[in-house]
Structures are given as structure tokens and as C-alpha cells.
Amino acid sequence: MTKQEKVDFVIKTLNELYPTIPIPLEHKDPYTLLIAVLMSAQSTDVRVNQITPLLFAKADNPYDMIKLSVEEIREIIKPVGLSPMKSKGIYGLSHILINEHGGEVPRTYEALEALPAVGHKTAAVVLSQAFGIPAFPVDTHIHRLMYRWNLTNGKNVVQTEKDAKRLFPKELWNDLHLQIIWYGREYSPARGWDLDKDPITKTIGRKSVIDDYYAKKK
């Protein structure tokens, strides 16, 4: 298969498996999405979705959030981990949104990445899922699968994002990054991986990855 045929196969398979795409993090607007994505760093979406309703019951907008103290925010979000950094980030960015953006979440990488505790991936998720702006946030699943599928060299997430944007059509980025995440969780996980149940890797996978898989099975 040529590189283009591999890309077409990935798109076709993912569209068949995920014709409608569930949104991993529950939210109702750009602000609640931004907070949920920030909280998801080194945590699971399931855990975040258990905790955000408790936080948003008290504050689901920056004006109410700054009425809480950093300690109060931290107490609520403690189960998601990294709560000292995240609570300071949530409190600090809420102030900045009010003071510099009229209480609204900005729509550019530059403005989002200037907010405390907001990195490139968080900014990309907010741009794509809240505003429909084409972005390709790379998480651990996408990084792993792009390498397994021999579509990137896997050196780092920056390179993986560049390769994904180069290979896949821009109008598909927002759907594709979510489809690949769901595929990674359900068909091609890091642990307990069964190649026979992973149709994409089985068909187009990197030879060294497949050889390694079978070597470990012996």
C-alpha cells in the first residue's frame, strides 16, 4: 500500500466504526470544556466527568469561579490528581478571561496558551471541539497509533502532530483526532493489546511493531 492508500484506509475504517463520534469530556460551553480539558492532564476522562459536575454546580463560569478560593477549588478537584497546579490554573485563568477577554474563552492558540496551566494540546482541543476550528490535538493514543501505523517516526508529539496535519485532510482533523482516540482505547490499547482485534494495525502496521508483537507472544 502507498502512504496515501494507508491514509484512505484509516479514514474509511474509522468512519465505519465511528459514524457518530462521542465527545469524551462532558461540557456545555467553551469555558466548561477548557476547565475539563485542563483537569484531564494525567487523569482519565471518566474521572474528570465524575468531578466536573461537582465543580460546575458551584461555578460554571469565570465570574463565579473567582468567588471560590484556590483551596476550595483544589478540595473539589483533588480526585483528578495534580490538584495544586490545576486549582491555581483554573483560578488564575478565570481572572485573565474576565480582565483580558470579557469573560469569554479566546479563539487563538496564542491567547489560549498564554493562560496558566493551558498547554498546546489543551488549546487545540478547545479550538477544535468548542469552536470547530481545525486542529489536531495529539494525546498518548494518537501518538501511539500514528507510530504503530507507520505514519510518523514517533520521536515526539510535536512531530506526530505535524505528520498528522500533513497526511490527513484539514476538514477531517476535528473528527479524526477523536475517532483515533476512541479507536486507541477500544482496539489498539497500550496494555493488553490484541493485534487480531486491531484491524487497522493488522492491515497497515509498522513491520517492526508487528514483528515485536509476535516475538513477545512466543
Q: Known catalytic residues?
A: 121, 139
Residue 15, exposed/middle/buried by CB under 10 A (0-12, 13-18, 19+)?
middle
**Encoded amino acid at 193, one letter:** W
Count of CB atoms situated within 10 Å of the CB of 153:
12
Torsion over CA: 186, 158, 137, 93 (sign): positive
CB 81 within 8 A of CB 43: yes
Give 164-211 as a 3 state SS string: HHHHCCHHHHHHHHHHHHHHHHHCCCCCCCCHHHCHHHHHHCCHHHHH
- Residue 17 corresponds to which cell in the numbers above? 466504526
- Residue 173 corresponds to which cell in the numbers above? 482533523
Query: Which phi and psi angles does 52 have, rounded to 5°?
Result: -60, -40
Residue 193: name the closest of 210, 176, 218 by CA. 210
Count of CB atoms situated within 10 Å of the CB of 11:
17
